[in-house]
Amino acid sequence: MASASASAQLERAYKRMLIPTFLAVGIFAIVPLVGMIGLSFTDYHLIRGFRGEVGFQNFVRLWTDGRFMESIYVMCALSFIGVAVQIVMGTLVAVGLEKIVPRWRLARGFFVIPFAVPAIVTALVWLSLFTPTLSPINAFFAIFGIQIPAILTTQTGAIAAIVIADTWTTYPFVMLLILAALQGISTDLDEAAAMDGATRIRAFFYITLPLLVPALTMVALFRFIETLKHFPLIFVLTNGGPGRSTQATNYYAYVQTFQSSNVGYGSAIAMFLFFFAGVISLYIAKRNARLADA
């Protein structure tokens, strides 16, 4: 079986298995991506059409565009805070389900439900919860004379609102991944350390957590990329406001492309995001390759 010709034949069969995917990805993903790169060097406008190529002008404009710079700041705030909150909460729930309430078998499923809620629905639901005159939370606390502040009217509050809504629907993803990782960790390790309860929490920090680090890094990177692409939440929940203080970069690319019709410039902004995604995905791919070799 290990003859050279049989092996070559096998490799050819493998190659054929790749062809359909290769074609499908090529046509429906690579071609549009190349199109995006092409458009970013033009001044294509949805109303005025093409006037011509503009070289690197769109990219030069990025440097001098205050709104673009601010959008990066907003994007970073949303991504870093969002990922941190989601990681912490997802991990806590996963660890809690495993270690604190292992008997809540059914609850496991309930904790996953928000993951199934479409982003646009998430946005609408939280919009009603964050609007003081509509929200049952405000109505409930009003009984006790407590006024919950409106959070969509300040930049910090609006960013927090997006993070909360996003966390609600994505922590299950983190939770599932951490649950998966926890099951891969031999339990006698921390049970041995947990002989007495006092050290049990410490054992988590010194033994379990370090073992979770690779999984956590992976989840964090995946979530980070996803948070860079926030759209429905901003579109519905904050409308980019107050002012334009929650127009993160991806949303700003949308505003330029669709509201101002500047497809060329919008594509240049998207290129910046694409570059970002490229670097992070390269890192993940390298890391994976290293793990596969090891």
Positions 130 through 159 that interact with another protein (CB under 8 A) = 130-134, 136, 138-140, 147, 149-150, 152-155
Stretch that binds another protein, among 56-64, 78-86, 240-248 (CB under 8 A): 240-248
> Is 209 a binder of another protein (CB under 8 A)?
no
What separation in angstroms does the CA of 119 have from each of 29, 85, 96, 231?
23, 18, 26, 9
Q: Which is nearer to another protein, 80 or 195 (CB)?
A: 195
* DSSP tag of 152: T
Stretch that binds another protein, among 10-18, 53-61, 80-88 (CB under 8 A): 10-18
Out of 60, 88, 120, 209, the only residue in the binding site for another protein (CB under 8 A) is 120
Query: By CB under 8 A, what part of segment 22-81 binds another protein?
Result: 22, 24-25, 27-29, 31-36, 38-39, 46-48
Distance in angstroms (rounded) separating the CA atoms of residues 257 and 218:
32
Out of 57, 59, 70, 229, the only residue in the binding site for another protein (CB under 8 A) is 229
Closest among 80, 79, 123, 70 to 269, alpha carbons compared: 70
User: What are residue 54's phi and psi, to 5 degrees?
Assistant: -125, 15
Burial of 161: CB neighbours in 10 Å, binned 0-12, 13-18, 19+: buried
User: Residue 35 CB, nearest distance to another protein (Å)?
Assistant: 3
Out of 3, 4, 13, 52, the only residue in the binding site for another protein (CB under 8 A) is 13
Contact 169, 117 (CB under 8 A): yes
Query: By CB under 8 A, what part of segment 162-201 binds another protein?
Result: 168, 176-177, 179-181, 183-184, 195-198, 200-201
Out of 110, 186, 206, 209, the only residue in the binding site for another protein (CB under 8 A) is 110
Closest among 275, 230, 284 to 75, alpha carbons compared: 230
Distance in angstroms (rounded) separating the CA atoms of residues 70 and 228:
14
User: Residue 216 CB, nearest distance to another protein (Å)?
Assistant: 9
User: Residue 210 CB, nearest distance to another protein (Å)?
Assistant: 13
* DSSP tag of 42: B
